[in-house]
Structure 1
C-alpha cells in the first residue's frame, strides 16, 4: 500500500528562507502569522493527509463513485467520514474570511495545504477544492445577500460548491458554450442548456451543493467575454 508523508520540514524552510513569509507582517492578513502557528498548522495538516486521506487514495480509485437509479451519487467508502473529519478540523475554512466563519489565514498557507491534499488524495481534494473556488467567486462578485446565505455554510463544509463549465460541444473553449439565460419579469433568470462532466456535481458528502452555472445572456458577445455566472 502506498504511503504519504507531507514534507513539512522542507515546506517550512521554503516559506521562511525563500518566500520570506515572516517578513510580511505589514500585509493585511499576515499580522498574526508566526513560525509557531504555521508549524502547528502544517504538522496537523500533514498528519491528516498522511493518516486519513492517503489510505483512501488507492481503494477510492479502485471503487470509484456509485451512481444510483434515482440519480444520487455515493462517494467511495471512507470519503464521507474523511470529509467530516476535514470539516471538524476546520480545514475548509483555513483561508476563508473570518466574517463567514473562516480562520482568515493567508492564501500562502492554504496553497500548502492544498498541495498536501492533492499529493495524498487528489480525488478527495476535488471536493473541497471546487468548493473553495465557488466560495472565491461568490466572495468577489456575490451580493451581500448571497454571501450571507451561502458562504457561512460553505466555509463550514455543510454545503459544497461546483463550477458548471463543460458542455457536449466544448470543454476548454468556453467561448462555444450554448447555455442561455433569459431574464424574467420578477428578476429571476430561466436557464436552458446542457452541462456534462461536472466534477463533484453530485455526491453524499454535504447537505447541499451550490452550482455556479456559466451561461450567456441575450445580446452578449459571442466569446468568453460574453459569459455570465449564475
Structure 2
C-alpha cells in the first residue's frame, strides 16, 4: 500500500490524527494545494478550525484561482464565528465562479445562520435562477419566506421542492431545514486537483487528490459543519 493510499484509508476510517501525521511527514518533502487542503480536512475533523484555516491560507497562496479553497476556508472561519472573514471568502468563491449555483446556496445558508435573512433570500433566488432543479434551495428559500411572513410564497416553494425531489427520489423534503442532497453539488463533481509547478497555471489531477474528497464540497458535508457549529454556538 502506498503512502497516499494509506492516508486515504485512514481518512475513510476517520482516523484523522494518524492521517495527519502521515500528511505532515509527506509535507516535509514539499507541499501542494491538495496536500495542504487535505491537512485542513483532518484538522477540521479534529476540531482544529484555526489550523484548518491557516493551512487553507497556504493552499490559496499556491492556487489563488481555485474557488473551492476560498469556500473551504470560509467554512473554517464560519466555525470560528468569524463573520467578516467567512463572508469575504464566500464572496471570493462566488466571484471566481459566478455561474456556479452552489456558491450562492452555500453562502445563503451561512448568511441565514448569521441572521442576514434578506441576503440569504437573495442568494437562494440567484441559486435557483442558475439551477431551477435544486430542491434543497427551493425548500430552504421557502423556510426563509415563511420566517418573514410570506406564507403563500413559502408553500409554493415547498411544493416545488417536493415536486423536484419526488421526481428524483420519490421522497418529500419540504419544511425541513437542510443543506444536503443525495448527490454532490455540481462544484463537487469535479475531481479534486493538485497545483502545478507554475503558480498561475490551472490545477491538474493527482492520485492523492483523486482519492481524498473534501468534506466541504457536498451539501451533506456542509450540513455536518452547520450542525456541529450550531451545537457549539446555540446563540447564533
Query: Where on the TM-score scale, by shorter chain, does this alignment land: which range?
Result: under 0.3
TM-score (norm 1): 0.28
TM-score (norm 2): 0.27
Which has the greater radius of gyration?
A: 1
